[in-house]
Amino acid sequence: MTSTANRRSGLTLYVDAADLAGHAVRLVLAEKSLSADIHYVTPETCPEDLYALNPYHQILTLLDRELVLYDQPIMLEYLDERYPHPPLMPTDPMSRANNRQLRGRISRELLEATGGFKGGTAAVNQARRVISDNLHAIAPIFSHRKFFMSDEFSLADCCLAPLLWRLPVYGVSLAPEAKPLARYADAIFSRPAFRHSLSAVERTMRA
């Protein structure tokens, strides 16, 4: 095992290669063309002092010199504020609050459901139903807006796109009436930053 002590000169991200939340952070880094040392680790290969830095003893940790961040939503907003170009949050307070609320809904209504895929058959089937129902409910939105509730790419898209990328792995299919959402997903997946954000593990999730 190694130490993080000699890796604190700039942005450093510790993340599981298949982690959904970590993928969103990597997407923000890629959208902003930020140079960062990304270390793909597992519980067995974590640096010996990483869990000491992260009070929740979780892998996902962002280091920026002496700053240590371990809450993913805070990581996203920190990166957008610290490196403001291109902006991934609106400038006015009301729109920023709305973006935060959208990301909260994505987390509660979609991302939290993915925990069911670690359970038995009943839990997996329930997770699929929840994700499918919620995605089909929001699909019509993409007939009117280029991005998620916005005409500009934002942090909300950075949170939603990694989930959409994993739908084949989750066994979730989009029905024909969700075509606007499927078109949106394809457009996001074709962005150079999205392709760059993928780990080797994530690249195998879609043929």
Instruction: Give the tens place of pLDDT for each residue, 20-68.
Output: 999 999 999 999 999 999 999 998 898 888 888 888 889 999 999 889 9
If you average pLDDT over every residue of the chain, what do you get?
93
Instruction: Give the tens place of pLDDT for each residue, 13-30.
Output: 999 999 999 999 999 999
Query: Average pLDDT of 91-106?
Result: 96
Please indicate, yes or no, if residue 46 is contained in any of the structural domains. no
CATH number of residue 149's parent domain: 1.20.1050.10
Please indicate, yes or no, if residue 155 is contained in any of the structural domains. yes
Please indicate, yes or no, if residue 168 is contained in any of the structural domains. yes
Rg (CA), the chain: 17
Q: How many domains does the chain have?
A: 1
* Backbone CA torsion sign across 61, 10, 86, 196: negative
3-state secondary structure 65-84: CCEEECCHHHHHHHHHHHCC
Whether the per-residue pLDDT at 107 is higher than 60: the answer is yes
Domain interval for residue 106: 93-191
Please indicate, yes or no, if residue 33 is contained in any of the structural domains. no
Whether the per-residue pLDDT at 119 is higher than 60: the answer is yes
Instruction: Give the tens place of pLDDT for each residue, 144-189.
Output: 999 999 999 999 999 999 999 999 999 999 999 999 999 999 999 9
Please indicate, yes or no, if residue 41 is contained in any of the structural domains. no
* 62-71 per-residue burial string, b: 16 or more CB within 10 A, e: under 16: bbbeeebbbe
Confidence of residue 8 (pLDDT cuts 50, 70, 90): very low
Please indicate, yes or no, if residue 134 is contained in any of the structural domains. yes
Q: Which two tokens stand for residue 177?
A: 């009436």
DSSP 146: S
Whether the per-residue pLDDT at 5 is higher than 50: the answer is no
Please indicate, yes or no, if residue 206 is contained in any of the structural domains. no
Please indicate, yes or no, if residue 125 is contained in any of the structural domains. yes
Query: Average pLDDT of 109-119?
Result: 96
Q: Which two tokens stand for residue 158?
A: 């950075």
